[in-house]
């Protein structure tokens, strides 16, 4: 039986939407009041920004959930608009906090306590519509990529698990060794059985007689059984007590329940209903517009003509001449009559005349008093200097869109009666209102052409005016000439080197050359970690804490996934063109790059030094390669350009062993590429490095706009990692396995080490034996002892390197006692 969408669920999500909209409108009312006033107290400013940030994150979480669950197409359009605005505002607040605190990582422990929120509620989700709305496109692209790889003989399955071929003689030897070992084990088992039989025979001879006292034997069996039974009962009671106290998970905790399966079915059904309602809504937009054109088109045309004629006559009566008709580029008559009556237009004409007269009088007064103005300017300059010292919030590009969305909600949906719309289908009346405006603007263009001609005829008949041909002046020609030269230069720079080739052919070539690769299916939620609960406390004592893994995950969401996933956010939000992930090997840098592509459906281009070595040789070849990569990346955006071991591109001194590969080929071209990237281009350059100290710092930091230090996992993260990775690989957690001990002992080891050890220990045979022999910590500890951890010295070297980056220098100066303003000035000078 197929599940159905219940009225209770619709009511619940409608209630959530109304509550979220009320919270958003209240926040929008408070924000301008606090942000307009200039402040000097840095702590107060950060607290204000952080409070707004946390509240916007809560609103975003609710709106994202509502947008995903709603099936009403018109509501979804409005929610989407507000959702993009909230995302952009969060990014703006994040940028303000970075500029204020001079660090990428922030801690909100005290604010979370005041708002009574858990740290998990600060986690930033990835909107599901990033993939839902282009699922078919992504699937089609994956099929094409798989087909090209298959045709070129590159199998992706072989890339994941490479199989080494061995000679026939060695294979025979291996089989012989395995067979002899098997026979030896069987022989040993047979000999053991013979030995036990002989041992029992000797024991019976030594005793000489059998035990005849059955009562004593029965009593002994009872004692053993009762002890065993009581131990089991005690263990059971202890386990129940631990479950009751919340110290242990309940039985069948990890198994999928029937309610979860039912919820997945309902979610699938909801997606189908969403799709159907969207299709019906699109069809209705066309049919309703055509109906309106037939029924109301003639009346709209006549009303517009009457309105414009009346305007001609009134202007003639007031000014003595007919008005000039607005050009098409200016918007035609829509500029004059935009939501205005004829009386209001007349009042505007009179007001404009009065303003012109006042402006003439003011100009005369200013000419008479030039000396006084100079003295006043000196005073205003001094005041402006004092005001500049105070902090002011930069203007937001997303607040108007959010306010517009809130106003639309209040006007249309806040008190709307939807008792008739049980299925939550489209509202035809709202479509009529929207299409009536569109139809009016289309008819207005036709009416403007007719009325322009009518105005010319009136001027000829009444005022006897004729149009005079406009003579092109010499100055204009010069300006045009200058502009023409600039355009020619720009065209030369942006010359299309592959104008005669299609995107499909370039795409195929890049795949065959190995520059466009298939991203691994990894979600960002698979990057496991825990929050840093001591961040605020350590900063109060002037100790800079190492970021936690979840802090890194949040930055990847904010700087990488959100801008790539939403075009509206990417165009207006603070632009992040390049991102650097620096950290020791095994901390998950490569995984994060693949997660960005998976969550946004982005193409992945690999421009690592090792990958481009020997490909497209020479300067012209390199230029052609970069042109092809970024042309395809723009056409099929979003796209991620990944440079693994990016420190090699910026080597201080190239090692002799790598000189043949020309690792510094891209060094001069990367800054030029970044300049050419526009807000419309959803392209992100991501570099990963495990030895950033080998690169030239200045050129390195010029290319990478945001630098994220990826640390080794702390105790809390290691505890969660061990638990989840063991369970994901088929392990069962029991009381015999001390996970806390494992997390403590493995300090310094990375996620890569933990995954490798778990996969090595949990073989198929060991997983089957878990019922009789539970897992213990010793098994994992013995396996990890052969690996080299990340020592504190290596971690300190990363910290010291980060302190030399522009943002690190500013932060260090601010901590040591210098003000943030001095730090900013120092960074600007450099």
3-class secondary structure for 429-456?
A: HHHHHHHHHHHHHHHHHHHHHHHHHHHH
Whether residue 225 has pLDDT greater than 90: yes
Q: Which residue has the higher pLDDT, 101 or 341?
A: 101
Q: Which residues have a Cβ under 8 Å from the Cβ of 511 and sit 6 or more positions away?
A: 145, 148, 149, 152
Residues 465, 324 contacting (CB under 8 angstroms): no
What per-residue string of b and e applies to 609-648 under the rule 16 or more CB within 10 Å gives b?
bebbeeebeeeeebeebbebbbbbbbeebbbbbbbbbbbb
pLDDT for position 439:
87
Q: What are φ and ψ of residue 183, in 5° steps? A: -65, -40
Whether residue 391 has pLDDT greater than 80: no
pLDDT tens digit sequence for 776-791: 999 999 889 888 898 8
Q: Residue 179: pLDDT band by 50, 70, 90 thresholds?
A: very high
Residues 780, 744 contacting (CB under 8 angstroms): no
Whether residue 475 has pLDDT greater than 50: no
Whether residue 653 has pLDDT greater than 90: no
Instruction: Identify the weakest region by mean pLDDT among 467-481, 570-584, 604-618, 681-695.
Output: 467-481
pLDDT for position 315:
80
pLDDT for position 470:
45
**Per-range mean pLDDT, top range of 48-57, 649-658, 730-739:** 48-57
DSSP code at position 398: S
pLDDT for position 328:
78
Whether residue 205 has pLDDT greater than 60: yes
Whether residue 738 has pLDDT greater than 80: yes
pLDDT for position 19:
92
Which residue in the block uniquely carries the two structure tokens 């990363």?
798
pLDDT for position 350:
64
pLDDT for position 188:
94
pTM for the whole structure: 0.81
CATH architecture assigned to 716-789: Orthogonal Bundle (1.10)
Tokens of 517: 């690769």
Assign domain 503-713 to a CATH class: alpha beta
Conformation bin of residue 417: beta by default, left when phi > 0, alpha when psi is -120 to 50: beta
pLDDT for position 362:
61
Q: Residue 138: pLDDT band by 50, 70, 90 thresholds?
A: confident
Distance, in Å, from the CA atom of 129 to the CA atom of 278, rounded to the nearest integer, reads 14
Q: Which residues have a Cβ under 8 Å from the Cβ of 663 and sit 6 or more positions away?
A: 609, 648, 649, 651, 654
Residues 513, 629 contacting (CB under 8 angstroms): no
Q: Which long-range contacts (CB under 8 A, 24 or more apart) does 667-675 make?
A: 667/699, 669/622, 669/626, 670/703, 671/702, 671/703, 673/626, 673/630, 674/577, 674/578, 674/703
Conformation bin of residue 298: beta by default, left when phi > 0, alpha when psi is -120 to 50: alpha
Whether residue 369 has pLDDT greater than 60: no
**Per-range mean pLDDT, top range of 140-154, 239-253, 747-761:** 747-761
Residues 590, 688 contacting (CB under 8 angstroms): yes
| Among 578, 540, 741, residue whose Cα is nearest residue 674 | 578
pLDDT for position 477:
46
Instruction: Identify the weakest region by mean pLDDT among 91-100, 184-193, 648-657.
Output: 648-657
Distance, in Å, from the CA atom of 280 to the CA atom of 73, rounded to the nearest integer, reads 9
Average pLDDT of span 651-670: 85
Distance, in Å, from the CA atom of 825 to the CA atom of 125, rounded to the nearest integer, reads 36
Distance in Å from the first CA to the final CA of the chain? 69
What does the chain come to in residues?
Answer: 830
% of the chain exceeding 90 in pLDDT: 25
* Helix (H) / strand (E) containing 361: helix 342-368
Q: Identify the burial level of 161 via C-beta atoms within 10 angstroms of its C-beta, where 0-12 means exposed, 13-18 middle and 19 or more buried.
A: exposed
pLDDT tens digit sequence for 577-635: 999 999 999 899 999 999 999 999 999 999 998 888 888 888 888 888 999 999 999 99
pLDDT for position 552:
92
CA dist list (Å): 82 to 75, 348, 368, 392, 568 = 11, 34, 52, 25, 11
Which residue in the block uniquely carries the two structure tokens 């975003």?
60
DSSP code at position 462: I
| Among 115, 117, 63, residue whose Cα is nearest residue 89 | 63
pLDDT tens digit sequence for 506-545: 888 888 888 898 889 999 999 998 888 888 888 888 778 8
Average pLDDT of span 218-222: 90
Q: Identify the burial level of 334 via C-beta atoms within 10 angstroms of its C-beta, where 0-12 means exposed, 13-18 middle and 19 or more buried.
A: middle
Q: Which residue has the higher pLDDT, 807 or 535?
A: 807
Q: What ranges make up the beta strands (E) of 342-392?
A: none
Q: Residue 317: pLDDT band by 50, 70, 90 thresholds?
A: confident
pLDDT tens digit sequence for 476-510: 444 445 555 545 544 445 567 777 888 888 888 88
Q: Which residue has the higher pLDDT, 733 or 489?
A: 733
Average pLDDT in the chain: 82
pLDDT for position 373:
46
pLDDT for position 719:
92
């Amino acid at each position: 039986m197929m599940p159905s969408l219940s009225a209770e669920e619709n009511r619940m999500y409608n209630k959530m939407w109304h509550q979220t909209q009320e919270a958003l409108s209240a926040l929008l009312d408070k924000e301008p009041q606090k942000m307009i006033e200039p402040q000097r107290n840095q702590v107060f400013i950060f607290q204000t920004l952080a409070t707004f940030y946390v509240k916007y994150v809560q609103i975003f979480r609710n709106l994202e959930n509502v947008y995903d669950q709603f099936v009403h197409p018109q509501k979804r359009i409005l929610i989407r608009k507000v959702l993009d605005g909230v995302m952009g505002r969060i990014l703006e607040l994040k940028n303000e906090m970075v500029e204020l605190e001079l660090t990428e990582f922030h801690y909100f422990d005290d604010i979370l306590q005041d708002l009574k929120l858990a740290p998990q509620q600060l986690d930033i989700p990835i909107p599901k519509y990033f993939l839902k709305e282009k699922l078919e496109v992504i699937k089609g692209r994956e099929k094409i990529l798989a087909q090209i790889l298959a045709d070129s003989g590159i199998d992706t399955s072989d890339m994941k698990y490479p199989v080494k071929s061995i000679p026939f003689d060695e294979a025979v030897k291996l089989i012989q060794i395995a067979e002899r070992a098997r026979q030896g084990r069987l022989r040993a088992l047979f000999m053991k059985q013979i030995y036990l039989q002989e041992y029992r025979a000797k024991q019976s001879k030594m005793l000489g007689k059998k035990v005849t006292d059955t009562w004593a034997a029965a009593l002994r069996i009872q004692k053993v059984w009762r002890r065993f039974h009581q131990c089991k009962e005690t263990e059971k009671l202890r386990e129940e007590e631990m479950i009751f106290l919340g110290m242990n998970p309940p039985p069948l905790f990890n198994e999928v329940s029937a309610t979860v399966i039912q919820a997945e079915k309902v979610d699938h059904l909801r997606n189908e209903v969403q799709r159907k309602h969207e299709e019906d809504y699109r069809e209705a937009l066309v049919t309703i517009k055509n109906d309106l054109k037939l029924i109301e088109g003639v009346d709209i045309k006549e009303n517009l003509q009457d309105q414009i004629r009346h305007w001609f006559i009134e202007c003639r009566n007031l000014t003595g001449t007919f008005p000039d008709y607005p050009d098409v580029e200016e918007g035609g008559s829509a500029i004059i009559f935009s939501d205005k009556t004829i009386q209001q237009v007349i009042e505007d004409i009179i007001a404009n005349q009065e303003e012109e007269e006042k402006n003439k009088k003011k100009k005369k007064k200013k000419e008479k008093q030039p000396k006084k103005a100079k003295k006043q300017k000196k005073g205003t300059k001094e005041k402006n200097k004092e005001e500049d010292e105070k902090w002011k919030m930069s203007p937001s590009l997303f607040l108007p869109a959010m306010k517009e969305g809130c106003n639309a909600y209040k006007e249309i949906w806040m008190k709307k009666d939807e008792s008739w719309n049980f299925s939550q289908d489209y509202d035809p009346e709202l479509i009529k209102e929207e299409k009536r405006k569109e139809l009016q603007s289309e008819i207005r263009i036709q009416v403007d052409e007719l009325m322009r001609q009518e105005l010319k005829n009136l001027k000829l008949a009444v005022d006897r005016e004729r149009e005079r041909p406009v003579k092109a002046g010499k100055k204009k020609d010069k300006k045009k000439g200058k502009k023409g030269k600039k355009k020619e230069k720009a065209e030369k720079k942006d010359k299309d080197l592959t104008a005669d080739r299609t995107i499909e052919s370039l795409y195929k070539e890049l795949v065959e050359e190995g520059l466009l690769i298939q991203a691994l299916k990894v979600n960002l939620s698979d990057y496991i970690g825990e929050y840093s609960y001591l961040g605020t406390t350590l900063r109060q004592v002037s100790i800079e804490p190492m970021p936690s893994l979840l802090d890194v995950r949040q930055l990847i969401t904010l700087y990488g996934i959100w801008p790539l996933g939403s075009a509206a956010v990417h165009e207006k939000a603070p632009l992040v063109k390049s991102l650097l992930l620096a950290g020791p090997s095994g901390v998950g840098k490569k995984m994060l790059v693949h997660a960005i592509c998976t969550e946004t459906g982005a193409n992945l281009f690999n421009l690592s030094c090792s990958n481009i070595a020997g490909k497209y040789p020479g300067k012209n070849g390199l230029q052609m390669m970069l042109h092809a990569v970024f042309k395809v990346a723009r056409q099929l955006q979003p796209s991620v350009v990944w440079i693994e071991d990016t420190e090699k591109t910026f080597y201080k001194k190239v090692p002799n062993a790598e000189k043949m590969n020309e690792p510094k080929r891209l060094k001069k071209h990367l800054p030029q590429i970044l300049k050419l990237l526009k807000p419309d281009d959803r392209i992100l350059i991501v570099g990963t490095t495990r030895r950033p100290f080998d690169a030239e710092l200045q050129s390195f930091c010029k290319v990478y706009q945001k630098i994220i230090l990826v640390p080794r996992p702390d105790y809390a993260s290691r505890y969660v990692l061990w638990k989840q990775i063991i369970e994901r690989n088929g392990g069962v957690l029991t009381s015999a396995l001390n996970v806390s001990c494992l997390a403590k002992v493995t300090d310094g080891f990375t996620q890569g080490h933990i995954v490798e050890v778990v996969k090595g220990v949990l073989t198929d045979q060991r997983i089957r034996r878990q019922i009789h022999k539970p897992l213990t910590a010793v098994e994992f500890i013995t396996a990890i002892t052969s690996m080299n951890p990340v020592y504190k010295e290596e971690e300190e070297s990363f910290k010291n390197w980060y302190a030399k980056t522009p943002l690190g220098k500013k932060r260090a100066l601010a901590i040591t006692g210098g003000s943030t303003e001095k730090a900013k000035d120092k960074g600007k000078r450099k």
